[in-house]
Structure 1
């Protein structure tokens, strides 16, 4: 499931629960009198009586929204972009991939020399941490493919920008994946 699907499912359901919880009939005077004194201030706020179910459902909703918005899938990667889309470029990048191996420093140096992306010259191709759906689909597919191990180079991958070599620093799955 994608995070947008989850959000579009959870938010209406959560709203429905909150409506039912706040529409619940008030507690009878007998039950109110039986409630421990230390809980009364919690359930009576500015003259409005709050049902315990309302508090529980609100906290559950806040936690679900936290999971939906902040515990999403993230990846960290660097890349080398060559805008030439010829087969020669692909072969050169495959050779470069073999030459670099798993050496992150060599990859950064190669990105500074070869990459035609602004991140290449300034940051050694480092793209930082980003969520799913941020990059173009072929790049994403290669990055999130479990057959491409972390700490190694994936690609070359052809996108509408050109060929990419991707050094995968890390991947984190989201809570709902």
Structure 2
């Protein structure tokens, strides 16, 4: 493909949204893809949603992969939700350090890992940062009830910001798998 064709395809894929979901599933597909594991050492049930991919600008150079996780303790403690995000980009490290919801509410963010994926020259490399973002059941439920996406703005020490969106279909399917589990 020519560079022009690739650019045109990226623009068409991006449409009116700043986020293009490369891999998106229906709520039913997400629910069926949720893996459930009972943990004997830490009594409770762990739920892991499928890994999906999106891009913040329609290009292959600014990708992110996301998956939801939940841990339901055996006790009466509330279920804990986490969004795992892998961001890949070119150039210098961004060092993402915090996230906020569209409402401006900050959410707990923990950097997990940073990796150099591939270098094309001395100054141009594909980099990856992995983040864990803690979410409450109320934050998940609010998006589910509104049948709306969950949008987070990630901010980095470098001054970069990236918008991460989890589609409503993913949230609905994942939440249904958690609340309807009878273990």
**Higher RCO (C-alpha under 8 Å, 6+ residues apart):** 1
TM-score, normalised on structure 2? 0.24
TM-score, normalised on structure 1? 0.24
- Judging by fraction of residues, say which structure has more helix: 1
- Judging by fraction of residues, say which structure has more strand: 2
Which has the greater radius of gyration?
1
